[in-house]
Amino acid sequence: MKGAIIAVLVVVALVQLMAMPGEAVGCGQVNSALAPCIPCLTGAGTAPSAACCGGAKNVKALAPTTADRRAAGDCVKAAASHYPNINEDSASSLPKKCGVEVTIPISKNTNCHK
């Protein structure tokens, strides 16, 4: 019985951590989703991994509204500032390589609030 109660509490805690529709996207979610992309964006890998593309698709799913996309864009830019060796061409081609449609160009200079 104790195990069942603990399992229920864990599920409730996980649900609380998930973004609910209409809530702002958290940078922790975006950073975790895109972490597998760092090798291909910094030149350590040539093509994005399946985990990277899955993360990119996850970020798109997390950001259905304009406000969410702006928040996600800000998160990506903040994270990118910690990796000065990100290749701009790799970053801009990542959505296409992963089959993810984006409405703004991917660049560290992109204004996410336009």
- Classified by CATH at the fold level, domain 26-98 comes out as Hydrophobic Seed Protein (1.10.110)
Predicted confidence band of residue 20 (pLDDT cuts 50, 70, 90):
very low
Residue with tokens 């979610």: 29
Predicted confidence band of residue 23 (pLDDT cuts 50, 70, 90):
low
**What local confidence, expressed as pLDDT, does residue 97 receive?**
94
Which is higher by pLDDT, 40 or 46?
Answer: 40
Cα dihedral 36, 39, 105, 88, rounded to 10, equals: 170
The region of weakest confidence among 9-18, 57-66, 84-93 is 9-18
Q: Stretch 34-59: mean pLDDT, rounded?
A: 92
* Separation of alpha carbons 8 and 51, rounded Å: 28
**Cα–Cα nearest to 56, from 9, 90, 6:** 90
Report the percent of the chain where pLDDT is more than 90: 53
